[in-house]
């Protein structure tokens, strides 16, 4: 079959969630998911894999089990988007037509942008939580490290889960501490950005944490080369405008790299892309800015928030309401995305700071207003949420097309908006 009511490109966190909803709404045979990978990954678990708390197998399920039974799964890559003709082509030479297109292709790591990194990665010292092949290596390297220098890097530009580089550093440092080896290992976190974290409320806690634990943080320090055989990392030091103003070389015994990242080439060269190569998506409605029957969601979408699965879940509720309305002949702007994203910052075994924020760094915490925890602090309950509740909710709710926590937050927002709306006529 070559024609569908809804075609979803990408069956990752966002795509699977959207597919489940539309199969339920439209019935079998109406929805196709074009997705080349036979494995579906819950990537947020890789942080815990690198920390030795979970196995990589727990992050992986067969794609056929995760995608809804009523969707036609097309195991191929989209090679071209033809939005003016409502068609996409795939790598196996086929073409699929759609009434509505949802683009959920995620983003890609650009390992080759750091000279020498592809060769050094996996040599025992150079590791990364950012791929399923290399995430287990982080824990192996930390366990093997007896003395010297453990170095953690964060690149320039947009990355998925901006907290991931921090988590790798803090969890590894905690392991060294618990193993009694911390006095013999210096720990450095080299960040390309000029702030330790973008949201001031959480940056304050992180600054106190690194000071307390003796982690040397270098800002404006961007990894450009790895000399694997010499165990040297070469950084450019960035000036105020982000330009290189100098070079710094650091020796390492263990190097955890968060690689530069960007949109997929197939998206960047398509008519769907904005100037940065991302899917040109309205940041509030999730609708494409030029093709009304196209929506973007998740990491591939040009929305200025932190790229996380939590953000994709919140975006799904907006996309669902607006696309449902469009299908029914209405407008596609009834629901509005506020930029909600969440990053559970695991700081050590048994502790996590649950960061939740939206556009402009607006704090959008769930538990703090209930008086349960202070989300600007490390907390054991939040560790349980990160390690147990969220993985469960991902497999059993989100990828099945249900985001009850998002519905709850939206209901609260509506309640808060009501008194203001009711008060408005009286004020006139």
**Mask: binding to ligand FAD, 196-215, rule CB under 6 A, as x and -?**
--------------------
Q: Which two tokens stand for residue 61?
A: 């399920």
By CB under 6 A, is residue 320 in contact with ligand FAD? no
Site string (138-167) toward ligand FAD, x via CB under 6 A: ----------------------xx--x---
Q: Does 298 bind ligand FAD (CB under 6 A)?
A: yes
Q: Which is nearer to ligand FAD, 105 or 188 (CB)?
A: 105
Q: Quick one: which of 14, 66, 187, 255 contacts ligand FAD (CB under 6 A)?
A: 14
- Which one of residues 20, 47, 287, 315 is an interface residue with ligand FAD (CB under 6 A)? 47
Q: Per rule CB under 6 A, is residue 49 in the interface with ligand FAD?
A: no
Output the CA torsion sign for 161, 166, 170, 176: positive
Q: Looking at 24-32, 99-107, 170-178, 363-371, which segment touches ligand FAD (CB under 6 A)?
A: 99-107
Please, which residue, 14 or 210, has the CB nearer to ligand FAD?
14
User: Which sign does the torsion angle of CA 209, 216, 304, 155 carry?
Assistant: negative
136 makes contact with ligand FAD (CB under 6 A): no
Which residue in 21, 54, 71, 105 binds ligand FAD (CB under 6 A)? 105
Distant-in-sequence, close-in-space partners of 39: CB < 8 Å, separation ≥ 6: 60, 61, 62, 63, 132
Collapse the DSSP code of 124 into the 3-class scheme (helix H, G, I; strand E, B; otherwise coil) and give the result. coil
- Rounded Cα distance between 299 and 154, Å, is 18
Is residue 137 within 8 A of residue 173, CB to CB? The reply is: no
Distance CA 155, CA 10 (A): 25
What does the angle CA 3 – CA 6 – CA 10 come to, to the nearest 5 degrees?
A: 105
Instruction: Pick between residue 23 and residue 309 the one whose CB is nearest to ligand FAD.
Output: 309
CA–CA separation, 157 and 153 (whole Å)? 13
Does 356 help bind ligand FAD (rule: CB under 6 A)? no
Q: Is 33 in the site for ligand FAD (CB under 6 A)?
A: no
Question: Which stretches of 7-103 are DSSP H helices?
Answer: 13-26, 46-50, 63-66
Q: Are 88 and 78 in contact (CB under 8 A)?
A: yes
Min separation Cβ 287 and ligand FAD, Å: 17
* Positions of E strands within 138-230: 148-154, 185-191, 216-218, 221-227
The reply on whether position 257 binds ligand FAD by CB under 6 A is no
Q: 109, 259 in Cβ contact below 8 A?
A: yes
x-or-dash pattern for ligand FAD, window 51-80, by CB under 6 A? Answer: --------------------------xx--
| CA distances in angstroms from 117 to 132, 141, 216, 292, listed in the order given | 17, 16, 23, 41
Tell me the residue nearest to ligand FAD as measured from the CB. Answer: 12
169: annotated active-site residue: no
Task: Single out the segment in contact with ligand FAD by CB under 6 A; choices: 12-20, 142-150, 190-198, 351-359.
Answer: 12-20
Out of 12, 83, 263, 339, point to the residue binding ligand FAD (CB under 6 A). Answer: 12
d(CA 213, CA 323): 48
Considering only 102-110, 144-152, 203-211, 412-420, which stretch makes contact with ligand FAD by CB under 6 A? 102-110
Q: Which of 59, 308, 322, 387 binds ligand FAD (CB under 6 A)?
A: 308
Rounded (5°) CA angle 314-316-319: 120
In our burial notation (b when 16+ CB lie closer than 10 A, e otherwise), range 359-385 reads: bebeebbbbbeeeebebbebbeebbeb
Does position 399 interact with ligand FAD (CB under 6 A)? The reply is: no
> Which residues between 226 and 245 bind ligand FAD (CB under 6 A)?
none
Contact call for residue 299 and ligand FAD (CB under 6 A): yes
Applying the rule CB under 6 A, the residues between 406 and 425 that interact with ligand FAD are none
333 φ/ψ angles, rounded to the nearest 5 degrees: -130, 20
- Residue 101 has a CB neighbour count (10 Å cut-off) of 25
**Residue 344 Cβ, how far from ligand FAD at the closest point, in Å?**
5
Total site size for ligand FAD, rule CB under 6 A: 38
What's the full length of the chain, in residues? 428
- In eight-state DSSP terms, residue 304 is S
Nearest to 360 by CA among 160, 199, 195: 199
With contact defined as beta carbons under 8 Å apart, do 175 and 51 qualify?
yes
Whole-number minimum distance, CB 128 to ligand FAD, in Å? 8
Residue 343 annotated among the catalytic residues of the structure: yes
Contact window for ligand FAD (CB under 6 A) among 139-147, 213-221, 305-313, 356-364: 305-313
Q: What are the residue numbers of the active site?
A: 161, 343
Residues of the shown chain interacting with ligand FAD in the complex, contacts defined by CB under 6 A: 9-15, 34-37, 43-44, 46-47, 77-78, 104-106, 129-130, 160-161, 164, 264, 266, 298-300, 307-310, 312, 342-344
């Amino acid at each position: 079959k070559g024609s569908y009511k809804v075609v979803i490109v990408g069956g990752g966190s966002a795509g699977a969630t959207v597919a489940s909803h539309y199969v339920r709404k439209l019935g079998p045979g109406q929805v196709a998911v074009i997705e080349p990978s036979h494995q579906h990954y819950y990537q947020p678990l890789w942080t815990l894999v690198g920390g030795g708390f979970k196995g990589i197998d727990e992050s992986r399920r067969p794609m056929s089990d995760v995608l809804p039974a009523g969707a036609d799964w097309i195991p191929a890559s989209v090679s071209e988007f033809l939005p003016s003709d409502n068609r996409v082509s795939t790598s196996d030479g086929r073409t699929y037509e759609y009434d509505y297109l949802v683009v959920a292709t995620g983003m890609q790591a650009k390992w080759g942008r750091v000279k020498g990194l592809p060769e050094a990665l996996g040599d025992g010292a150079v590791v990364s939580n950012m791929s399923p092949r290399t995430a287990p290596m982080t824990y192996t390297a930390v366990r093997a490290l007896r003395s010297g220098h453990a170095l953690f890097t964060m690149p320039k530009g947009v990355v998925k889960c901006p907290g991931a580089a921090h988590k790798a550093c803090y969890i590894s440092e905690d392991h060294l501490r618990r193993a009694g080896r911390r006095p013999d290992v210096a720990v450095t976190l080299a960040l390309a950005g000029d702030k330790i974290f973008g949201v001031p409320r959480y940056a304050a806690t992180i600054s106190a944490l690194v000071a307390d634990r003796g982690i040397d943080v270098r800002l404006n320090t961007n990894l450009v080369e790895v000399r694997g055989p010499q165990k040297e990392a070469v950084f450019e030091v960035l000036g105020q405008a982000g330009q290189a103003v100098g070079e710094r070389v650091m020796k390492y015994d263990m190097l955890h790299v968060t690689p530069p990242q960007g949109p997929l080439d197939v998206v960047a060269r398509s008519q769907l892309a904005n100037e940065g190569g991302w899917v040109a998506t309205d940041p509030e409605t999730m609708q494409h800015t030029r093709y009304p029957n196209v929506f973007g969601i998740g990491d591939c979408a040009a929305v200025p928030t932190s790229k996380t699965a939590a953000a994709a879940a919140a975006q799904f509720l907006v996309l669902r309401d607006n696309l449902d309305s469009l299908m029914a002949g209405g407008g596609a702007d009834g629901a509005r995305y506020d930029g909600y994203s969440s990053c559970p910052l695991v700081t050590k075994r048994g502790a996590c700071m649950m960061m939740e924020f939206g556009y402009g760094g607006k704090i959008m915490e769930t538990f703090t207003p209930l008086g349960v925890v202070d989300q600007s602090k490390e907390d054991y309950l939040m560790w349980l949420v990160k390690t147990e509740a969220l993985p469960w909710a991902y497999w059993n709710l989100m990828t099945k097309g249900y985001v009850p926590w998002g519905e709850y937050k939206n209901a609260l927002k509506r309640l808060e908006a009501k008194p203001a709306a009711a008060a408005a006529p009286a004020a006139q």
